[in-house]
Homo-oligomer: A and B are copies of this chain.
């Protein structure tokens, strides 16, 4: 074991080789990182079972990383863990998520987690469920829109909802296209609007017109709440602060994904049929190329 390691940790070596790992080896990597490095400090049999691969696969990974055998691999893990435990300074690095002043990735992750947990407290579950009910109702048409930045999130939600149900359309960000989209908005339709800080100045006009035509407006906004809220039937306020010049849209995207998942669950039989049909059509598309 002393043959090959310089100062590189097993984790680093894994990352370096990540691209050339096979499926079984990647399973092992995931299992190891899930509880690093303790997961690797058990017998080869147990480690293999934990990752749901065979014992020789573990051995192959160890050799690929440059170790003589499994014991060498394990000793390397032990050595680095031992070093970390004895060195109180390095202790902080281990919990990188807690070290707020190290790498920007960690600072950002910290902010993202805080935004997420903060948003969960802000959001009313009943409002969320009510929105899901609206979006899962196949008799309604759904229209999605966002501002200059949030349009990417709206588009993401549109793509996923389109796979789950019919009659989903994305409203372009450019106001000059709005009239022709307003034409197709009718009574009982649902409009989901994303509007966060630096609220779009034109969107209230659009929302007001849509409302006059009988549409129900769902608003996803930040904790300071867009002025659109007075036009909306449901409003989800989210935390979006980031250590950056711009706000973070991670939580809005999170809400979008959660909505999709909930909508799919709410109408599973129809959705399943639709997704299967979609798969078939995709195959055709692929063959036709």
Query: In this assembly, does A122 line the interface, its C-beta being within 8 Å of a C-beta of chain B?
Result: yes
**A149 interface residue per 8 A CB criterion:** yes
Within 8 A of B (CB), among A67-104: 78, 81-82, 85-86, 88-89, 92, 94-98, 103-104
A108 at interface, CB cutoff 8 A: yes
> In the complex, which residues of chain B have a beta carbon less than 8 angstroms from the beta carbon of A95?
88-89, 117, 120
Is A106 positioned at the interface, with any CB of B under 8 Å from its CB? yes
Is there a chain B Cβ closer than 8 Å to A246's Cβ? yes
**A160, B113: Cβ atoms closer than 8 Å:** no
CB closest residue in chain B, given A271:
B245
Which residue of B has the minimal Cβ distance to A129?
Answer: B103
Which of B109, B120, B242, B257 is within 8 Å of A248, CB to CB?
A: B257
Residues B18 and A122 in contact, CB atoms below 8 Å apart:
yes
Q: Which of A16-59 contact B (CB under 8 A)?
A: 16, 18-19, 21, 23, 26, 29-30, 33-36, 38, 41-42
Alpha-carbon distance between A201 and B29 when the two chains are bound, in angstroms: 26
Size category, A interface: 35 or more
Q: Which residues of B contact A122 (CB under 8 A)?
A: 15, 18, 33
Q: Which segment of A135-143, A182-190, A210-218, A223-231 sits at the interface?
A: A223-231
Which residues from chain B contact A65 at a C-beta distance below 8 Å? none
User: A124, B12: Cβ atoms under 8 Å?
Assistant: yes
Contact of A33 among B26, B38, B106, B118 (CB under 8 A): B118
Q: CB-nearest residue of chain B relative to A275?
A: B245
Question: Cβ of A156 and Cβ of B152 under 8 Å apart?
Answer: yes
A121 sits at the interface (CB 8 A): yes
**B85 x A38 contact (CB < 8 A):** yes
Residues of chain A whose beta carbon lies under 8 Å from any beta carbon of chain B? 11-12, 15-16, 18-19, 21, 23, 26, 29-30, 33-36, 38, 41-42, 78, 81-82, 85-86, 88-89, 92, 94-98, 103-106, 108-109, 112-113, 116-118, 120-125, 128, 148-149, 152-153, 155-156, 159-160, 163, 201, 223-225, 229-230, 235, 237, 242-246, 248-250, 253-254, 257-258, 260-262, 264-265, 275, 286
